[in-house]
């Protein structure tokens, strides 16, 4: 089994001390910092935007994995990448032409990703996998942290792994939602684990190590 990557979600970090937090997770062994961007429209919550990504980029020792839970992401892609997003992941339902948005992300120099919400069928993203560096499987409904893991989403990871191998693609599978040491084992076919409250509620190094 390959060594897993871990991307702690700063949504669960101390927002008054984000520089300290991102440096702490990096020192604890995190591979990426996962940044959840919500617009209050595509999902029922508001979080952070371009200025915070820009500020984080100046101090983060690790890549920024920016998950855009926003409508019409094509309007903001260039600014997020200019601000320092290393990975930019969009939702297939958030735009009329996800393929063109994924190409836009790549053309601007970032890694492109597509996301599956719990209700999104795998079939909707399979034709897009060849344009992706990353596919994100949500194991909770996007919008809020601290939700319980949805076991019925595990089959999507297996299906994606099959397709990635079948198409000989270099595409990572990321999983986000209710991830802890136990649920990570259930998602053993994934490459990257996003964990928020699980990491930030205990010793960071211990939590990150337990996910690998």
Give the catalytic positions in this structure: 36, 176
User: What is the distance between the terminal CA atoms of the chain, rounded to a whole angstrom?
Assistant: 10
φ/ψ of residue 174, rounded to 5:
-110, 145
For the chain, how are helix, strand and coil distributed in percent, rounded to 5? 45, 20, 35
User: For the chain, what is the total number of helices (H) and then of strands (E)?
Assistant: 8, 8
C-alpha to C-alpha distances, 60 to 56, 86, 207, nearest whole angstrom: 6, 11, 20
C-alpha to C-alpha distances, 198 to 8, 178, 189, 194, 206, nearest whole angstrom: 9, 8, 20, 10, 10
> Sheet of 5-8: strands edge to edge?
5-8, 192-195, 172-176, 134-138, 111-116, 87-91, 64-69, 33-38
Cβ count near 196 (within 10 Å): 22
């Amino acid at each position: 089994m390959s060594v897993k990557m871990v991307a702690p979600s700063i949504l669960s970090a101390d927002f008054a001390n984000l520089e300290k937090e991102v440096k702490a997770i990096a020192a604890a062994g995190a591979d990426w910092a996962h940044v959840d961007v919500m617009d209050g429209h595509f999902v029922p919550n508001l979080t952070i935007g371009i200025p915070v990504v820009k500020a984080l980029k100046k101090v983060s020792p690790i890549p920024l994995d920016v998950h855009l839970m926003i409508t019409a992401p094509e309007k903001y892609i260039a600014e997020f990448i200019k601000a320092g997003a290393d990975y930019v992941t969009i939702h297939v339902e958030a735009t009329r032409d996800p393929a063109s948005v994924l190409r836009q992300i790549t053309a601007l120099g970032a890694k492109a990703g597509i996301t599956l919400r719990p209700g999104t069928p795998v079939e909707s993203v399979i034709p897009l996998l060849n344009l992706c560096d990353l596919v994100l499987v949500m194991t909770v409904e996007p919008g809020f942290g601290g939700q319980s893991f949805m076991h019925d989403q595990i089959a999507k990871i297996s299906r994606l792994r099959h397709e990635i191998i079948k198409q000989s693609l270099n595409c990572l599978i990321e999983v986000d939602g209710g991830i802890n040491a136990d649920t990570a084992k259930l998602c053993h076919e994934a490459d990257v684990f996003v964990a928020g409250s699980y990491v930030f509620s205990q010793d960071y190094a211990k939590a990150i190590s337990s996910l690998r």
